[in-house]
Chains A and B, each alone.
Chain A
């Protein structure tokens, strides 16, 4: 509608307001998403994940620079954690990207996790649609500093870059499940530091042990040195951006991009179903005070959580629980 049109016309205020309405769970935001949805799905979405302080924001800044040199427009969604105690957040990723603040071809928006656990914010999926509808060619999604398990980025990005730094543990860390499995590209950042060769060897061993399917992609391991040494950093960034493009070309030439888009779409539908089915029921239970009554019943052991949940389901989901 009105807001949707303004976003397609590149109105930054309209776009950032819509992202905010999505974050704040304002119901009109859904209407606007419905309008812009047909115009989405064109951008290459690149995820950047890794531990806190690994250098994700600095690499994002380098990726912005490189894409702008090729005259590609860039959107950035950078996520930082929300305090579990106060609900506040310090969003500091854009500090590293401020040289692009005035470039009309670059849009940077910081998001707080607001309790989401997968390394992203709940609003990220729809925020990607907004930036996509703005017509950005590339969307860089930077996760919070992640540990082992925060792999939500694979539901949003076409290409996932996992950023590692030396000295984060022994070789067992490298064969653990979770984040080490999701990389399309590994970056060993701060590679001028001690231990980077060892980390590189460990990653090579891990990749040597993995089965690579036919038409498969073996994740390259890039060594990127000190960001304060411009020549060395530029060399690393050039190599990274070539691999990012190489991965995207590979996804298209083998049609694996279709699988990734399907995974992303499935995830999105899951989220929408949850928001349209579970959330209204929860809201009703909370506002009517029924939820508290149920908790009292449970505390007195007069019922159990499954019986209560089945009763609620019986009220709202008759079709699903018919024998």
Chain B
């Protein structure tokens, strides 16, 4: 009787202590029936990648409101690739100007959510695109 659960890590990279959004999302993923690992604020990409592997998550959701998303998001995706964990999906959210979308997609970020995105739309995206492994 296998009981596969989706595991998702919610992480805040870089010098950014504004975690209300990340916490609301974590709670929302919990209510969707996912197991949510929350890392807290001020994480380096290295900490996030290492934690994602130790926790065997299906997906990492990065939240960044500081403007450093062009550096931090690709860094996490690249580190996961280097550690043979490129199968872990990386998505992001925060204050992200539209012209940054394509470079982020090109660096391996699979989806981006900006202010105005509904919680349901985020959960739906995860449900549609991510299947628990094992």
Contacts and interface: CB of A to CB of B under 8 A. Distances in A.
B43 A86 contact: no
A26 B56 contact: no
Given A23-B5, A86-B33, A102-B46, A95 B38 contact: yes
A222 interface: no
A102 B38 CA distance: 16
* Interface class of chain A by DSSP: mixed
Contact of B35 (A19, A107, A112, A279): A112
B97 to A, nearest CB: 29
A88 B32 contact: yes
Interface centre among B2, B54, B84 (most CB of A within 10 A): B54
Interface residues of B, number: 37
B60 to A, nearest CB: 13
B17 to A, nearest CB: 13
A88 B39 contact: no
B51 A13 contact: no
A86 B27 CA distance: 11
A89 B38 CA distance: 10
Pairs of residues from A and B, 9 with the lowest C-beta to C-beta distance, nearest first? A16-B56, A95-B40, A88-B30, A101-B47, A87-B33, A88-B33, A91-B37, A20-B56, A86-B33
Given A114-B3, A114-B5, 13 more contacts: A12-B53, A19-B56, A24-B132, A82-B35, A83-B33, A86-B31, A86-B32, A87-B33, A88-B32, A94-B51, A98-B51, A101-B54, A102-B46
29 contacts: A12-B54, A13-B83, A13-B85, A16-B56, A17-B133, A20-B7, A24-B4, A24-B134, A83-B30, A86-B33, A88-B33, A88-B34, A88-B35, A90-B26, A90-B36, A91-B36, A91-B55, A94-B55, A95-B39, A98-B39, A98-B47, A101-B51, A108-B51, A108-B54, A109-B54, A110-B37, A112-B35, A114-B3, A114-B5
Interface of A: 12-13, 16-17, 19-21, 23-27, 82-83, 86-92, 94-95, 98, 101-102, 107-110, 112, 114, 279, 283
